């Protein structure tokens, strides 16, 4: 073979790189410029070139008849290609669109990149043979994390329910290489908007080691937001699950002083986590919160009319029906409702969210808006009450309970009630399980007003 040039036949789709010393030239020979000529088409023609001595050079062939000869690193380009899907690691494997998928060298240099389609599909090509890492990145908003995730992290730390795989990786939100109660606290803080980021970042994607050798490979990737250890997030959805509701069950009247309002559930609870995101009614301001839940595990925040409450504990908390989860100190009054928002839920001791739970809270009205009555709690167990708000001039209040047959099973009367809030006990412990009609009469001034004749009380055992 002539040392200044030789003939090589190039098969379709490849570019060949040679090193001058491969041809047995001495390393001390000076570099020389190379020249190249090509046949009609590199797919079926031949190419003749000369080389630059002592240095690697790269011959890149295009589809035309004028290939380029450049000095550079020795490398061989084959028909390497990687295809696959990028999906979120939830139960639905939600496709992640408009995300970047990269193949990087072991020194973290990007060799190829692609953007995922609506279906989460990607395709990477035109990169040399070698060893790589395949992963992804996203600029989508962080989300899907609440106190239920904090509970799962606590369970992992205690060893009761270990996290595995990606769920384990996203639990380490402070990037400390260990998972403990500090991660659970940071998750609850971010859920409550007391912090806006994690040290570990917002997104985690699995990394796959790849060896490129001229083949097409199909590799699917998954991702999670940091902190979403139960995989509840749906990145493509504008709304996240809401498993709580808040309704009025009694009435209070606003006065010059602030007042405490109990917030309780419509059932008895064995709970391990509480996540509340609720927009308060306009005209009513939350100034404080207190609770029977463990103080060291409870965080809350009130900003811009939005209340957030987060709590988790592996030992859990048992609450009787009607027992307040927490109480709010408020000032002002409003006829508007509380609007529950995304990620609101109560989880059991296994960190499984409960089906829709209704929270109940008294309504706060202006003092001039008449008189009202409500039952608390309802449904009831062994204790139940009439809660009254009575205006000045109320003469008497008469109360009756009727069973399903219309029989009066209990009655009582308050002859000289004071104006304002009044609570009157019902002997629920002496009543059979079932639904009762509660009928209330009150004399205001010289008239006799019959109100709430369809108010019902449920007794459960």
For residue range 100-149, what is the model confidence (pLDDT) as tens digits? 999 999 999 999 999 999 999 999 998 999 999 999 999 999 999 999 99
Mean pLDDT estimate for the chain: 83
Q: Using the structure block, give the residue that is written with the tokens 């504990």.
A: 313
Task: Please name the residues in contact with 303: beta carbons below 8 A apart, sequence gap of 6 or more.
Answer: 193
Q: Report the alpha-carbon angle 268-274-382, nearest 5.
A: 15
Largest CA distance in the chain: 124
Percentage with pLDDT > 70 across the chain: 79
Higher-confidence residue of 419 and 311: namely 311
pLDDT digits (tens, 9 = 90+) for 34-75: 444 433 333 434 444 444 444 444 444 444 444 444 444 444
* Whether pTM exceeds 0.85: no
Strands 434-444 and 447-459: antiparallel
Tell me the pLDDT band of 453, cut-offs 50, 70 and 90: low
Q: Show the tokens assigned to 355.
A: 């089906």
* SS3 of residue 395 by DSSP: strand
Residue 76 contacts residue 110 (beta carbons within 8 Å): no
pLDDT digits (tens, 9 = 90+) for 281-332: 999 999 999 999 999 999 999 999 999 999 999 999 999 988 999 999 999 9
Residue 460 contacts residue 433 (beta carbons within 8 Å): yes
Q: How far apart are CA 4 and CA 23, in angstroms?
A: 10
Strand stretches in 292-406, DSSP E: 298-303, 306-319, 324-332, 339-340, 345-347, 357-365, 372-376, 384-390, 394-402
Domains of the chain, first to last:
6-71 (no CATH), 78-237 (2.60.40.10), 241-369 (2.60.40.680), 370-461 (2.60.40.1930)
């Amino acid at each position: 073979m002539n040392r200044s040039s030789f003939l090589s036949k190039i098969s379709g789709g490849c570019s060949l790189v040679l090193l001058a010393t491969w041809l047995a030239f001495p390393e001390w020979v000076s570099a020389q410029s190379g020249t190249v000529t090509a046949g009609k088409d590199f797919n079926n023609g031949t190419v003749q070139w000369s080389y630059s001595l002592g240095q690697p050079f790269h011959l890149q062939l295009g589809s035309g008849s004028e290939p380029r000869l450049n000095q550079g690193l020795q490398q061989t380009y084959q028909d390497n290609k990687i295809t696959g899907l990028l999906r979120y690691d939830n139960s639905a494997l939600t496709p992640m669109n408009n995300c970047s998928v990269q193949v990087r060298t072991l020194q973290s240099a990007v060799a190829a990149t692609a953007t995922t389609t609506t279906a989460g599909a990607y395709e990477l090509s035109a990169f040399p043979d070698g060893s790589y890492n395949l992963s992804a990145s996203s600029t989508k908003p962080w989300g899907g994390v609440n106190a239920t995730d904090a509970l799962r992290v606590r369970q992992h730390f205690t060893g009761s329910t270990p996290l595995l795989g990606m769920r384990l990786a996203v639990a380490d939100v402070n990037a400390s290489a260990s998972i403990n109660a500090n991660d659970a606290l940071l998750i609850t803080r971010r859920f409550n908007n007391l912090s806006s980021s994690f040290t570990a970042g917002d997104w985690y994607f699995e990394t796959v080691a790849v060896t490129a050798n001229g083949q097409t490979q199909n590799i699917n990737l998954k991702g999670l937001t940091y902190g979403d250890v139960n995989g509840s997030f749906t990145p493509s959805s504008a709304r996240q699950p809401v498993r709580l509701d808040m309704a009025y069950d009694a009435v209070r009247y606003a006065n010059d002083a602030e007042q405490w309002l109990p917030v309780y559930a419509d059932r008895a609870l064995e709970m391990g986590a509480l996540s509340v995101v609720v927009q308060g009614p306009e005209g009513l301001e939350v100034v404080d919160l207190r609770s029977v839940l463990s103080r060291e595990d409870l965080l809350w925040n009130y900003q811009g009319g939005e209340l957030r409450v987060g709590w988790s504990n592996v030992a859990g908390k048992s609450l009787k029906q009607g027992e307040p989860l927490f109480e709010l100190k408020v000032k002002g009054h409003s006829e508007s409702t509380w609007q529950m928002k995304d990620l609101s839920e109560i989880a059991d001791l296994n960190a499984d969210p409960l089906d829709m739970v209704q929270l109940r809270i008294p309504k706060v009205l202006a003092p001039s808006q008449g008189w009202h009555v409500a039952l608390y709690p309802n449904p009831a167990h062994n204790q139940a009450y009439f809660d009254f708000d009575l205006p000045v001039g109320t003469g008497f209040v008469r109360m009756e309970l009727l069973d399903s047959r219309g029989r009066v099973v209990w009655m009582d009367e308050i002859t000289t009630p004071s104006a304002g809030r009044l609570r009157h006990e019902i002997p629920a412990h002496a009543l059979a399980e079932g639904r009762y009609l509660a009928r209330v009469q009150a004399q205001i001034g010289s008239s006799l007003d019959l109100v709430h004749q369809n108010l019902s009380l449920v007794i459960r055992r």
